[in-house]
Each structure stands twice: as C-alpha cells, then as structure tokens.
Structure 1
Amino acid sequence: MKKTLTALGAAAVGAVAVRDLTQKQHALKRNFPVIANLRYLLEAVGPELRQYIVTGNDDERPFSRDQRRWVYASAKLQNNYFGFGTDNDLEGRTGYPIIKQRTFADVAPSRHAHSGEETPLPCAKVIGLARGRAKAFRPASVVNISGMSYGSLSSNAIMALNRGAELAGCLQNTGEGALSPYHRQGGDLVFQIGTSYFGCRDEDGAFDLDRLVELCAGAPVRMVEIKLSQGAKPGLGGMLPGVKVTEEIAEIRGIKPGVDCASPSRHAEFHDVDSLLDFVETIAAATGLPVGIKSAVGNMDFWDELIAAMTPERMVDFVNIDGGEGGTGAAPLVFADSVAFPFRVGFAKVYKRFAEAGLTDDITFIGAGKLGLPDNALVAFALGCDMVNVGREAMLAIGCIQAQKCHTDECPTGVATQRPWLMHGLDPELKSARAANYVKTLRRDLLKVSEAVGVAHPALITADDIDLIDGLQSSRPLREVYGYGRGWGTVGATLAKEIETIMAEATAEHPA
C-alpha cells in the first residue's frame, strides 16, 4: 500500500514536471518545474494570509480587521466593544477625526449597550417637499443600503438585503441593473436609472417613460435616482462580466447571456445641465416621486452650471455624492485608485456651492464611500449629509469576507457571484436579520455620539463639532479645514426644531 501511494505521488509530481517543462506561458515554471508552483499558490492565497495572519488590526484596506470585526459583531448582535484602548496611531496620523463631546447638554447617551437600536432615526428633511412633489416623504432611516445590482450581487444577497431593509425600516437602492424579483421582498426601494436604462427601456435600448411609470407603480419605489457616475469608476459605465450574465439576468436587463455587459459612460437622454433638469422634471411629473442624481466629484463646472440653472420650478430633489474610495464589483485599477475626489473633499466642494447659493435646506444630501462606519458617517453628517448609504459594509454584514473576487464570479461566501453552489451557502433569512442588526447598530452609535456632542440627531452636528488632528501637534475644525461658513453643515432653524420634536417623541416611546 505504501509503495502504491509512493508511486502515485511520484507519478503526479512527474506529470506536473512534464506539464511545466512543456508549457510556454510561465518562464518560472519552465526553469523551475514543480517547485515554482509554490510561488503561484502563495500568490493565490496571499490576500487570505495577509488578512488573517500577517497584517495588524488597522493595516488592511479597504476595511481593516477592526472595522470588519465591528461590522460582523454588530450584525450578529454580539459584543462589539473593544478593550484596552484604541490601537489607532493617533500620534502619527494626519487628518484623523476627533469628535468633541460636551460636558453639559440637554441630552445624554444611554449607558446600556443595546439601547437606541429600536429608536427611530429619520431624515431631518422631507425629500421632494421644496419642489412640491406629489409623493414627497421623510425617509424613516438616515442609514440606507446603497445601489448594488442583481447581477453584481447574487439573488440570495439581494433578497437578504431587501428583507433586512424591511426589518430595519430603511431603503434599498436597486443599482442600475433593474428591479428584479429579488428586490420585491418587502423593503422600500430607490430605483436607480443608469446609462443603459435597464428596467425602463424599450426594445432598442432607449429610455421608455411608460415602462418606468408602470415599474414604479407596481413596486414599493419611494424615489428615483439618476446615476451620472459612481465613486469607484467615475466616467465609466457599469461593467458586469459575462461570466455573471445568466439567462435570468439577461432577460431582466434585456441583454445577451454570457456576454460582458458594459454600460455607456454617459446618458443618451440628456447632454447638458438644462436637458438633465428637463429629464428630472419629466420623471417627477409622470411618477410623482422625488428625483435626484448620484455622482462622483471631479471637474466642478457641472456643479456650478447645475446650481445656476436650478429654479424653484426646476430642481433636483436630492444629491447623492459618491466618494472616490467607494467600492464596485469590477473596475480598471486606475479608475478605482485615482479618478474622482475622496468623499470628504468631493462632498465639501459640492456642498459649499449649494450653501453659497442658499439651497441646502431645499436639497437632501446623501453620502457614500466607506460611510458605514460610525466615525466616517459622523464626519459626513458634520459636513452636511442628511443620510448615508452603505454598500460594502452591508455586504460584510451578510457574510462578505473581503476576498476581493467580486469581478471573477468566485466570491466564496455567495454574496457577489452567480454560481449556484457558492450562492447556496448564503441563507437569505438568516442574513436579512444580520443586515438589519447592522443598520440598527450603526444608527444606535450615530445617535449615542450625537447625544454625547449634545444634540438630538446627527443632522444637528456641525462642522465645528469635529476636529482633524495633525498627530500630537495641532487640530483644526472641519469648518476651517474645508472652508465652511458659520452654520454650514447642519440644517436650518426650522428643520432643526422639527427633527428635535420628532426625536423627543421617539425617545419617549423608546426610553433607555
């Protein structure tokens, strides 16, 4: 038996050696047959080795071990506290945010770990109210699920997120890949219109308003988002690799199965700010829904022209700013790394222009780009966000392990794949509860920190309530760093009173 096993082992090694010596793709294998394969094996498992063995708690990107641990523990309602103090490098980092708590205030955070998870945390603004939209509404949650298409994510992942959205009382953005049956699990939706008009296009691929109206009337769509660009690949259209384009996805989108689905980089229905606003008003008039735009931030001419062209009779209802550090399932490296401003820089550039025009109370501002972590989200609110969208953090909550194989159809946890044998490991029922737990926990932490600052809602945090430090040498308020005027980054007095009243009633119904 031992001789047989030895012979089989020798035969296997010999076969590998013959293959290596005769192939021409890898010089390393031709020169060092058999043993060179170890190099490729280590390369293949390198991310896993670094993730679990080599790197420190705060070393890895895009999400560090500590950040992932916080999301995982929050999703499972486990202890998400940390002991022995921070291991962040406060002494040597520049631009690290410090939230300034108040000693005395009318509100104070609860002492109990899970208190606040069931406390409603609605948006401080009614989206579409300023423009008089027929279906204007106040979102019930300041934390919502970002645009991730069916196709990029699996059907089980989409179902888990939508059911989680229903449980948490938040919105789920469909992404540009159309509204699939898996988005119809009870959660309210934001329907995203991309450059290919999936879900609302005719047989020739052109935008079809009647189809959009029918779609919105037959699903729990609360608002419509026109996607101009996204943070991880601004200036490019969406890309769904052919290996992920199944027969079902092809039918939903109106494309060919098995073929790369590359959306155009720009819209065909409008070509400048004037025609964009016409498009917005056409959709809003036909559906009654609030209509806004999603965009990464690069050249600022567009924003100057948009603000100059808006009037009380013609305007966007919301602006969703996606940071250049945002995620995607597939993008060229240079676009993911170097195109578009990071969230804080890009958002501040846009918000300042709206503030100077006196429009910030009329527009709802949404942010995205690693804002599913409490500290990042609080900086976003201080800069003027009314809501934040979470994408990759929501994926982590339902099982993503940051394998970074989204573009290969080989996601090991079934989140970003269309392979049935990988998808079956993701149970939508269990993971929906985890998605909801994560959203609720993030809202709880936003509420607790807001109360520590002395305000009842994160929208009331100002650009003076957070400093950015330069190691141990100095600190500067966000207002000064980003050139904000006094009172910018928060809502006006009327909206502030409204949300304070709403939060007083909510905390009375959900005492600590």
Structure 2
Amino acid sequence: MQPLLDFLSAISWWQWILILLFVIGIIDIIQKKHTIMHNFPIVGHLRYFLESIGPELRQYIVANNREELPFNRRERGWIYASAKNENNYEGFGTDQDIYSTHYVFINNALLPFKVPAGHPNKKNSGFVPCAKVMGEYNKRKRPFRPASVINVSAMSFGSLSAKAIESLNQGCKLSGAYHNTGEGGFSPYHQMGADVVFQIGTAYFGVRDEHGNFSMEKLVKMVNDSPQIRAIEIKLSQGAKPGKGGVLPAAKITKEISEIRGVPMGKDVISPAYHSAFDSVEGLLDFIEDIAANTGLPVGIKSAVGHLNGWHDLARLMEQRGHGPDFITIDGGEGGTGAAPPSFADHVSIPWIYAFSDVYKIFKENNLTHRIVFIASGKLGFPAKGAMAFALGADCINVAREAMMSIGCIQAQSCHTNTCPTGVATQNKWLQAGINIDDKAMRTNFYFTKFRKELLQITHACGYEHPCQFTMEDADINLSDKNLAKTLAETFDYMKEEVPFTSVQELLDCPHLGGNLNLEKLRETEEAIH
C-alpha cells in the first residue's frame, strides 16, 4: 500500500491533468451517444460548451444593438435605464433603419398641446388613466376605470416566482397600474395592494371544483373576500401558443402552488386548449353574463387572433343581444412569457398589429367599439409603440416581458426550465434569494411612470391632451420601397372610433377610477425621477 501512496504523491499536478484528459478521451471514444465526441475526443467537448453559452455570446458580444430578438439590446437598455431611474436618452441620432418595412413614424403637430395651469398633468406628467370605463355600457355593479394606461399582463404565480409576483404587485400599487393574475390563481403575492384583474383560464385554477370544472361559488367567494379584484378576464387563448393550452412542469410545482391552483404535486399541470364551461360563442356570452351577474364586476376576454369567423359571430351576437364582454384583450402572435413549441411560437396566430386592426374593424363595422375597452398586448411596452397602438384604437396596454425586465429579467429564455438566473421565472429558492422586493417594486414603479410620462410627451407633441385622442392619421407606417410610408388609416382601411373624452380632470374625478390612486405618491415618484 505504501509504495502505491509514494507513487501517487510523486505525480505532479500537470501529470494528473494528463491522466484525467487521457481517461476522458478513452470514455469519449467508447461512448456511442455523441458522434462529435467519439470522432474528436476531448476537443469535442468544446463544441458543446460553446453551444451551451451561445445565447449569451450572441446577446452580449455578437449581435448589434438592434439585431437581437425578441427584444434587442436598445429596447432592453431603455427598460433597464427607466426602471433604475437612470438616463434613458440616446445621443447622436437614431441607429434604427428608418426606411425598413413596418417602421412607424408619429406625426407631430406644428404647435404642441400646452398644459394649462391647474391641470392634473402640470405637476404630475405620469398620470394617464384610461379614457373609458370597463362595465359602464353593460351597467355592471362595480365599473372600473384603470388608473394607468399601461398595466401588468397575465403572468401566473408558478410561472413566475413569488418574489417576482410580489415585486410587480407592489410596483403596480405605487404606480396606480393593475396586475393581471394570469391563469394560475389568486395567490397571496397578488394581494399587496394593487388593483387586480383575475384571469380565468381553461383549467379554472383557483376557482375549480374537485373534478376540475368551473365553480361559480368559489369565484364569488374570492371576489367578495378580495375587493382589490376589479375585473374578470376569460382567457380563450394566448399569443405564445393559441389553441394549445398551458403547461407548468412538475419541477416548478411547490406545495403552495398546488394549494392555490388546486392541483396535485409531482405531475406536469396541463391546461386544456378549450373551456369545459362553454363550447360556442353563444355559450361564451352566457358565461360572461353569468359571471358579471354573480360578481358585479366587468368581465372581458383575452385571445390571440387567426381566423375571423368567430369574431364576426361574436360581434353579430353582441349587436343582437345588446350585451357582451366589457373589455377585449388582443394578444399578438409574437409570443410571450409562456413556453411553446417553435411551430406554435413561430407560426400560429398573427402578429398584434394585424390581429388588432382586423378585430377592431369588425366591431367598428357593427357599431360596437364604444361598448368595449380594447386592451393591446404584444411587445408594446415602449412609448412610441404605445402611441401607435392608441392610434389604431387601443385604450390600454398590457406588458409582460417588459415588466419582467423592469425587475431584472435578462432575456435568458429559460423561463420553462426552472433555472432562470435572475430568480424571476423559477421556483428555486436559491435563485429567488437575489430579488430585493422593495427595490424591484420601485423599479416597476419607475418603469411605468417613465413610460406614461414619455407617452404623454409624444401625445402633447401631436397636439393632444390624452393618448385616446390619437387618430389613424397621426402615424405613418413603411409598407415597401414602392409604396413608401402610408398612414395607418390608408394601410388598414378603417378609422378608429372617436373616444368620448372631455378632459383629464374629468377622468381624475371619476368615481370608478382604480389604482387606490394617490397623486401625492405619483408626484413623489416623479420628483425622484427628476
């Protein structure tokens, strides 16, 4: 035994390295799973290592400022700077290709809107409430006017971590925005003071009976116990995977998630592609009215868009019956936080700008747009894109990935693996530990406030008091080299319906205004920004 120990102790560190490499090389040659490693032992490992860090190399070294998708470095940089209350300006002119197809130009007025003395925006340029009231036309018992035109889109607890949800909810409370729960149920982390839109998905998480069917009794109890729930959204589909349903991997299901959703642990949770509570457009309308009658809340729908037949049927029946959804959220086929097969993410459903214009046109033709609050969702978390959305007819904007970036997401694109390095989209306690909730809540607040402030500056530059006053003549879009730029009206062949807007002061005085609004808190945020 001693001679062996003497021999081992005589081997230097570099000889140990050679022995280790020799052993790895032998293993590589023997194994039959990876051809590259068999044919190029030891060296072949370098290929797999480079492949594993490929996204990071492209993100930080290879891709230019405007090249990467889904969000390029410039877009991420603007969100990060805004959320951290840092300088979000850029110098020396734009580095965008302003002649590229689908490039949007906002048409400013010769003389901008002059904010008069005593105006709510004179001291608080971050105050931009929705110009319409959800549930007003259908005479719901508890109508709701969102206090912010930009809000947090549907992202479930389970998909996102507890600390991420709590940070977003506290940030929404500070900024007056509402927080959509996503289909994963109403968790304690959604109850930090912000207005909440409760989403009902196809699996009815949080409001399901023991057989997985929808339970009106549970929904009514939840609404009665939780006054911060201001509206109900029925999810028909989402842009990431329309018609496919959702998946929460077993690895991300904790005991807490199991109890909130009402599902077993240790199994992947599959949301079906369809609702069991209804199977037709007529049934959908009945379901909406039943929920509204029992809860008193505005009820809306969320959907990605493909075929328009169902939308025509919905508009026709709404016109005949005199009632329908109080709001409609149009999700773009660009995808979102939900993981999906590439075939769905890349090809199923159409992008937001086509989806929204197609649907809005149908409701305008049927004289229904005044009944509905239109919510836009699809990479619109930037002021100029927001102005374009309002010009097309949107009344509010929901953001998901942009909100995630405001609390630290780095676009690692590992949301579905439970290994999110920033702790935003994982249930791993160690990875979540790096999230400082108070700090991230303030970042959400800054992002929303700066977004609204810049959107309002664009609005004033175009001669208007509120973004709802944008018309389709206020934005041009590049179509091709031959057609150059045309207005949105010429491009999409309709004119948005005029919103019955009087003044921002009237919106401020509205009894249905949400956000637990505290203008002094908003002013404090703005003073911090300055």
The two structures share one fold, judged by TM-score above 0.5: yes
Change (3 A) 1:373 1:15: farther
2:155 aligns with 148
Which residue of the other structure, out of 179, 182, 199, is the alignment partner of 1:175? Answer: 182
Encode CA deviations 1:389-420: one digit per residue, 9 max, x unaligned. Answer: 01000000000000101111111000011111
1:497 aligns with 502
Q: Give the alignment of 1:80-99 within 5 angstroms.
A: 80-91=88-99, 93-99=100-106
- When the two structures are superposed, what TM-score results if normalisation uses the length of structure 2? 0.91
2:4 aligns with none
CA distance in 2, matches of 1:347, 1:77: 32
CA distance in 1, matches of 2:93, 2:187: 45
1:438 aligns with 447
Q: What displacement does 1:496 show?
A: 1.7
CA distance in 1, matches of 2:236, 2:315: 16
Q: What displacement does 1:471 show?
A: 6.8
1:402 aligns with 411
2:457 aligns with 448
1:457 aligns with 466
CA distance in 2, matches of 1:9, 1:2: 14
1:339 aligns with 348
Q: What displacement does 1:489 show?
A: 5.1
Q: Match of 1:203, SS?
A: coil
Q: What displacement does 1:25 show?
A: 1.7
Q: What letter is aligned with 1:497?
A: T
Q: Match of 2:379, SS?
A: coil
Determine whether 1:295 maps to 2:300.
no
Which residue of the other structure, out of 352, 362, 382, is the alignment partner of 2:371? Answer: 362
Determine whether 1:189 maps to 2:199.
no
Between 240-249 and 31-40, the greater mean CA deviation after superposition? 240-249
Change (3 A) 1:118 1:499: closer
Change (3 A) 1:8 1:318: same
Between 424-433 and 73-82, the greater mean CA deviation after superposition? 424-433
Between 369-378 and 407-416, the greater mean CA deviation after superposition? 369-378
Change (3 A) 1:2 1:319: farther
Q: Give the alignment of 1:69-218 within 5 angstroms.
A: 69-91=77-99, 93-107=100-114, 119-218=126-225
Q: What letter is aligned with 2:445?
A: A
Q: What letter is aligned with 1:60?
A: E
Q: Give the alignment of 1:308-323 within 5 angstroms.
A: 308-311=316-319, 313-323=322-332
Change (3 A) 1:503 1:100: farther
Between 22-31 and 440-449, the greater mean CA deviation after superposition? 22-31
CA distance in 2, matches of 1:353, 1:268: 27
CA distance in 2, matches of 1:280, 1:90: 44
Determine whether 1:24 maps to 2:32.
yes
Encode CA deviations 1:191-242: one digit per residue, 9 max, x unaligned. Answer: 0000000010111111000100111122210000000000110111111122
C-alpha contact 2:130 2:148 (8 A) present in aligned 1 = yes
C-alpha contact 1:90 1:472 (8 A) present in aligned 2 = no
Q: Match of 1:408, SS?
A: coil
Q: What displacement does 1:189 show?
A: 0.5
Change (3 A) 1:400 1:13: same
C-alpha contact 1:119 1:507 (8 A) present in aligned 2 = no
C-alpha contact 1:290 1:317 (8 A) present in aligned 2 = yes
Q: What letter is aligned with 2:328?
A: V
Count of aligned residue pairs for this structure pair:
503
Provide the aligned C-alpha RMSD in A: 2.4
1:307 aligns with 315
Q: What displacement does 1:21 show?
A: 2.1
Encode CA deviations 1:10-37: one digit per residue, 9 max, x unaligned. Answer: 2332332233223222111111111111
CA distance in 1, matches of 2:170, 2:377: 21
Q: What displacement does 1:118 show?
A: 5.4
Q: What letter is aligned with 1:315?
A: G
- When the two structures are superposed, what TM-score results if normalisation uses the length of structure 1? 0.94
C-alpha contact 2:384 2:458 (8 A) present in aligned 1 = no
Encode CA deviations 1:460-502: one digit per residue, 9 max, x unaligned. Answer: 11111000125776210001101113xx2541xxx22254754
5+ long unaligned stretches in structure 1: none
C-alpha contact 2:125 2:452 (8 A) present in aligned 1 = no
Q: Which has the larger radius of gyration?
A: 2
2:397 aligns with 388
1:56 aligns with 64
Encode CA deviations 1:29-84: one digit per residue, 9 max, x unaligned. Answer: 11111111111111111111111111110000000100000000000000000011
C-alpha contact 2:339 2:415 (8 A) present in aligned 1 = yes
Q: What displacement does 1:119 show?
A: 3.3
CA distance in 2, matches of 1:49, 1:241: 28
Change (3 A) 1:7 1:116: farther
CA distance in 1, matches of 2:519, 2:377: 27
